[in-house]
Amino acid sequence: MRVDHDHDEAPAGTARPGSEYVDREQQVLDRIEKARKRKPKIKEERITSSHGAGGKATQTLVEALFLDRFRNPLLEKLEDGAELSVGQSRLAFTTDSFVVSPLFFPGGDIGDLAVNGTVNDLAVSGATPLYLSAGFIIEEGFPVADLTRIVESMSAAAETAGVQIVTGDTKVVQKGKADGCYVNTAGVGLRETDHQLGIDTARPGDAILVSGPIGDHGVTVMLERGELDIDSDVESDTAAVHGLVRDVLAGSTGVRAMRDATRGGVATILNEVARAAGVSVVVDEETVPVRHEVRGASELLGIDPLYVACEGRIVVVVDGAESEATLATMRAHPLGSESAIIGRIGEDPPGLVLLNTTFGGTRIVDLLVGDPLPRIC
Amino acid sequence: MRVDHDHDEAPAGTARPGSEYVDREQQVLDRIEKARKRKPKIKEERITSSHGAGGKATQTLVEALFLDRFRNPLLEKLEDGAELSVGQSRLAFTTDSFVVSPLFFPGGDIGDLAVNGTVNDLAVSGATPLYLSAGFIIEEGFPVADLTRIVESMSAAAETAGVQIVTGDTKVVQKGKADGCYVNTAGVGLRETDHQLGIDTARPGDAILVSGPIGDHGVTVMLERGELDIDSDVESDTAAVHGLVRDVLAGSTGVRAMRDATRGGVATILNEVARAAGVSVVVDEETVPVRHEVRGASELLGIDPLYVACEGRIVVVVDGAESEATLATMRAHPLGSESAIIGRIGEDPPGLVLLNTTFGGTRIVDLLVGDPLPRIC
């Protein structure tokens, strides 16, 4: 899934022509390039958890099945929210289902996750989030008290985000046909900005910023399941980022794209940027903010924090000339006080994400294969 | 749940003061009135299938929990689609989750059901359906071939209805945490009509029409499960009714409200009309179109076809003076060729639905208690 190349003889980001390093590196690049050029095709006969993990299998499913059958230019952009023209208005429209387990965890629950997730998808597409729908699929026997807690959490999150939940639906399935409660939200927002946002607009020289420590949400949920024997104070970062996004857009004309780093983490977003824009993305590992506990838990889980979901962090791609100003804007917002510039857009190799590691090497950070963190959102 | 009053001495729709009939009838009315005046409160500690059946328990859940916590005027209207003002545009926004079992049945599958269901909710709220979202919750191990079939069915239904599926989401849960595949759709439509539609606008003298035989969908799904030993050619009536709705609105200025009769059937809609408008609804049983097989299956199931779900039928409340013209318009449309006038709005008793039975009696048709037809949509 991820190829390590920590060689002393090959300093970060460089490669000497003719060296063994270059040969091996080139072989890897060629293999990835070849795989990516193949028409996407679902090889499996049955759906696996990987298809829901946000990585390679999800991408194949989306491209080989959903895009192929639902083919239309709005869906093909594959942004977090579709941009619609309805009557005289430019709208954004998005949806997400939430199947997180457990339903309640430090810092949040499935309710505020479902509201914030959809609010954030609208926000990063440059829209003002306005209206949400809520669809519940509930397992028979689910405690009404828990449902009440979820609904109250959704209500509070909606109020904080300034959105209204205006339509809904409830279905109940038999015991053993769900897992407590699943929640779908869809959202409508109004696009008023003149920023032409899109991950395909990233260009060499742009800077990449994140709005705070990454991986808090994913690690919190894993720890809450008791799968790791760690005591930790880490909490989910679930939050509505529309205010932060608004400040970023107001403070800079050079914003290319924003994404909230959920399933698949920051690494997945950077891969999507690299592919959509045909550029390389170079990240300096030591600049990526990661809490101590999150780093420790990730090591135990054998996963790079770059792949671990956040629920209140945005990744911003901005004109390099505006990177410091944008950083200052982000740090001035309560949800962005620990923002950092973590990398830049380059030219070569197009479509790939390279990480300059803290040990001085460089490695390719590819899309996830498999599903190391199932049902974290 | 439903009170039978088939007495020879009490002709349809009348009651002689002082008779034993009137006393009993009055007691029933008083009891219902008292129950309805109570502040809705969820008595159960755990969710039961009734909470998802569209009847009394669903109503209580919606009123005591969702309305209470999400309180806003748009949700409170409880129409099938919320009416929004976004920028310069009047929109409709709606959502539905689909958990039908089995996923494939004569006449349709969960895919076209999910598209048509949301298209129809938009249409009956007076909007032109435009854009849909699609959220999938898939059980690990689900055959990719079945998912493909569902997606192809959604694509075909969207094309027929003239809508685009523009945004989506896929989650995968472990084996035993779902039942194959659940689908949520949300939809956005544009409201351009000047008709002020709303079930609360029904008034005495209005006529009630349905667009064809009722109960086909619900009975088809029940038969497909093999729970009844009946051979039948009945098929789901799943269809997008936006064209039929458009014709009705174009042909009449006296349309008060439209609904598509899904979960809970025509009886549930009529109860909602009666309660919202504070009127009575009087239905003549012999005028209600019901296929022979549907009537037979309903008898075996011990349920009135009035409670059985359709997925391509609309109920129209229209000014009595325009009932015949509206009927002609509906019959001229391929999806309305078997339309019928089935009843009228009266004054007393407010909030109740009365059925003049084929046997000459009258009975109250109340909201469903329990869930006689689980997971039919």
The answer on A89 and A176 residing in a single domain is yes
**Distance (Å, whole) CA B137 – CA B143:** 13
Q: What is the CATH number of the domain that holds A83?
A: 3.30.1330.10
Q: Are residues A237 and A327 in the same domain?
A: yes
- Nearest CA of chain B to the CA of A108: how many Å? 18
The verdict on B315 and B179 lying in the same domain is no
Specify the higher pLDDT residue, A228 or A85: A85
Q: How far is the C-alpha of B158 from the C-alpha of B148, rounded, in Å?
A: 15
Going from the C-alpha of A274 to that of each of A64, A124, A368, B39, B138, the distances in angstroms are 20, 18, 15, 56, 29
Summarize pLDDT for B192-220 with one digit per residue, the tens. 877 889 999 999 999 999 999 999 999 99
- A144-173 pLDDT per residue, tens: 999 999 999 999 999 999 999 999 999 999
Q: How far apart are the first and last CA of chain B?
A: 23
Domain check: are B239 and B349 in the same one?
Answer: yes
Q: Which residue bears the tokens 């006689």?
A: B372
B236 and B166 in one domain?
no
- B12 versus B367: the higher-pLDDT residue is B367
A226, part of any domain: yes
Closest residue on chain B to A165 (Cα) = B70
How many Å is the maximal CA-CA distance in chain B? 67
Give tens-digit pLDDT for B221-277: 999 998 777 878 899 999 999 999 999 999 999 999 999 999 999 999 999 999 999
Please work out, in degrees rounded to the nearest 5, the angle formed at the alpha carbon of residue B316 by the alpha carbons of B314 and B322: 140
Residue B16: per-residue pLDDT: 44
Check CB contact under 8 Å for A93 and B166. yes
pLDDT at A7: 37
| Tokens, residue B185 | 């759709």
Q: Do B95 and A133 touch (CB under 8 A)?
A: yes
Chain A partners of B84 at a C-beta cutoff of 8 Å? 130-131, 166, 188
Residue A9, pLDDT > 50, answer: no
Which of B191, B208, B226 is the C-terminal boundary of a domain? B191
Residue that has been written with the tokens 């799904």 in this structure: B221
Q: What does the block give as tokens for A257?
A: 């794209």
> How many pairs of residues across A and B have Cβ atoms under 8 Å apart?
291
Identify all chain A residues contacting B186, using CB atoms and an 8 Å cutoff: 95, 133, 135, 184, 186
Q: Return d(Cα A229, Cα A97) in angstroms, integer.
A: 29
Extended strands (E) in chain B = 82-86, 89-98, 104-105, 108-109, 127-139, 164-173, 181-191, 207-210, 255-260, 280-284, 314-318, 340-346, 353-356, 362-364
What's the confidence (pLDDT) of residue B3?
Answer: 33
Contacts of B236 (CB under 8 A, 6+ apart): B105, B106, B107, B108, B113, B216, B217, B220, B221, B311, B312
Structure tokens at B129: 């359906």
Q: Do B215 and B346 share a structural domain?
A: yes
Which pLDDT belongs to residue A19?
52
Each residue's pLDDT tens digit, B93-111 = 999 999 999 999 999 999 9
Q: Is residue B312 part of a domain?
A: yes
- The residue among A275, A344, A354, A350 whose CA lies nearest residue A315 is A344
Are B214 and B305 within one domain? yes
Residue among A306, A169, A10 nearest B182 (CA): A169
Q: Say if CB B136 and CB A70 are below 8 A apart.
A: no
Edge-to-edge strand ranges of the sheet holding A82-86:
A82-86, A89-98, A181-191, A127-139, A164-173
Which among A97, A105, A173, A170 is positioned nearest to A141, based on CA atoms? A173
Rounded to the nearest integer, the mean pLDDT of chain A is: 90
Residue B42 pLDDT > 80? yes
Domain count, chain A: 2
Residue-wise pLDDT tens digits, A16-46: 444 555 677 777 778 777 776 777 899 999 9
Query: pLDDT digit string (tens) for B7-28?
Result: 333 333 344 444 555 677 777 7
What was the pLDDT predicted at B1? 31
Choose the closest CB to A151 out of B65, B86, B176: B65
Do B156 and B271 have their domain in common?
no
pLDDT at A130 over 90: yes
Q: From the CA atom positions of chain A, what is the Rg in Å?
A: 20
Question: What band does A11 get if pLDDT is binned at 50, 70 and 90?
Answer: very low
Query: Around Cβ A246, how many Cβ atoms within 10 Å?
Result: 15
> Which of B110, B130, B184, B260 is the best mutation test for A, with the most CBs of A within 10 A?
B184
B325-342 pLDDT, tens digit each: 999 999 999 999 999 999
Is B345 part of any domain?
Answer: yes
Q: Which of A172, A185, A260, A262 is the best residue to mutate to test the B interface, defined by the most B CB atoms within 10 Å of its own CB?
A: A172
- CA B316 to chain centroid, in Å, comes to 12
Axis crossing angle, helix B216-224 with helix B292-301, rounded to the nearest 10: 60
Least confident of A280-284, A292-296, B366-370: B366-370
Which residues on chain B are in Cβ contact (under 8 Å) with A190?
Answer: 86-87
CA distance B341 to B123: 21
For position B17, what pLDDT does the model report?
45
- Mutation target vs A (from B78, B166, B181, B188; most A CBs, 10 A cutoff): B166
Per-residue pLDDT at B192: 85
- Residue B282 near residue B356, CB atoms below 8 Å: yes
**Taking the CB of residue B46, how many other CB atoms lie within 10 A of it?**
15
| pLDDT tens figures, B62-87 | 999 999 999 888 887 777 789 898 88
Pairing label, strands B340-346, B207-210:
antiparallel
A73-97 pLDDT tens trace: 888 777 778 989 888 889 999 999 9
Does B46 contact A182 at a Cβ distance shorter than 8 Å? no
Question: In terms of domains, do B214 and B187 share one?
Answer: no
Alpha carbon distance B8, B359 (integer Å) = 9
Q: Kindly state the average pLDDT of the residues B131-141.
A: 97
Contact at CB, B172 and A53, closer than 8 angstroms: yes
**Residue A54 falls in which region: left (phi positive, over 0), alpha (psi -120 to 50) or beta:** left
Interface test with A, best of B167, B175, B182, B376 (most A CBs within 10 A): B167
Instruction: Report the distance separating Cα B222 and Cα B227, nearest Å.
Output: 7
Min CA distance, B98 vs chain A (Å)?
A: 8
Q: How far apart are CA A209 and CA A330, in angstroms?
A: 9
Kindly tell me if the per-residue pLDDT of B288 is higher than 80: yes
Residue A195 tokens read as 């920023």
- Which residues in chain A are contacts of B135 at CB distance < 8 A? 95-97, 135, 184, 186
Residue A205 placed within a domain: yes
Give me the residue from A45, A74, A134 closest to B166, CB to CB: A74
Residues B316, B312: Cα–Cα separation, whole Å = 13
Report chain B's mean pLDDT, rounded to a whole number: 90
pLDDT at residue A25 in the model: 72
Nearest CA to CA, how far is A353 from chain B (Å)? 24
Residue B164 and residue B247 in one domain: no
Nearest to A144 among B47, B96, B139 (CB): B47
Within-domain flag for A88? yes
- What are the pLDDT digits (tens) for B157-182? 999 999 999 999 999 999 999 999 99
Name the nearest CA neighbour of B356 among B369, B347, B343.
Answer: B343
- Residue A88's domain comprises 77-191
Residue A39 DSSP code: P
How far is the C-alpha of A48 from the C-alpha of A364, rounded, in Å? 25
Distance, in Å, from the CA atom of A138 to the CA atom of B30, rounded to the nearest integer, reads 34
The C-alpha angle B300, B301, B307, rounded to 5 degrees, equals: 125
Q: Which residues pair with B173 in a beta bridge?
A: B139
d(CA B263, CA B98): 11
Question: Residues, chain B, total?
Answer: 377
pLDDT at site B207: 98
Query: Which chain A residue's Cα is nearest to B165?
Result: A70
| Distance in angstroms (rounded) separating the CA atoms of residues B180 and B142 | 6
Amino acid at B214: I
Domain C-terminal end among B135, B170, B191:
B191
The pLDDT of residue A18? 46
Among A191, A209, A230, give the residue marking a domain's end.
A191
Tell if the CB–CB gap between A171 and B99 is shorter than 8 Å: yes
What percent of chain B is modeled with pLDDT above 70?
A: 94
ipTM tops the 0.85 cut: yes
Cα separation, B149 vs B102, whole angstroms: 14
- Helix H or strand E encompassing A270: helix A265-277
How far apart (Å, rounded) are the C-alpha atoms in residues A115 and A134? 9
Note the residue count of chain A: 377
Mean pLDDT check: name the lowest of A5-14, A63-72, B356-365.
A5-14
Strand partners, A136: A170, A183
The whole-angstrom distance between A266's CA and the closest CA on chain B is: 18
Give the residue from A129, A62, A172, A174 showing the smallest Cα distance to B134.
Answer: A62
How far is Cα A165 from Cα A157, in angstroms, rounded to an integer?
Answer: 10
Question: What's the rounded Cα separation, in Å, for the pair B184 and B169?
Answer: 10
CATH number at residue B286: 3.90.650.10
Based on the fold, state whether residues B170 and B253 are members of the same structural domain. Answer: no
- Nearest 5°: the CA angle B120, B307, B332 is 45
Residue B186 lies in a domain: yes
Give the integer Cα–Cα distance in Å for A342 and A325: 15
In a domain, A3, yes or no: no
Determine the pLDDT at residue B20. Answer: 56
> Minimal Cα–Cα distance from B170 to chain A, Å?
6
Contacts with B49 from chain A: Cβ below 8 Å: 140, 172, 174
Q: Which two tokens stand for residue A40?
A: 């996407």
- Provide mean pLDDT across the span B295-311: 94
Pairing status of strand B104-105 against strand B82-86: unpaired
User: Which contacts of A13-16 are long-range, i.e. CB under 8 A and separated by 24 or more positions?
Assistant: A13/A282, A13/A354, A13/A356, A13/A362
The proportion of chain A whose per-residue pLDDT surpasses 70, expressed as a percent, equals 94
| Residue B167 shares a structural domain with residue B254 | no
The answer to whether residue B107 sits within a structural domain is yes
Residue A94: which residues within 8 A CB-CB, separation 6 or more?
A: A80, A81, A82, A118, A121, A122, A125, A186, A187, B133, B167
- Residues in chain B within 8 Å Cβ distance of A98: 171
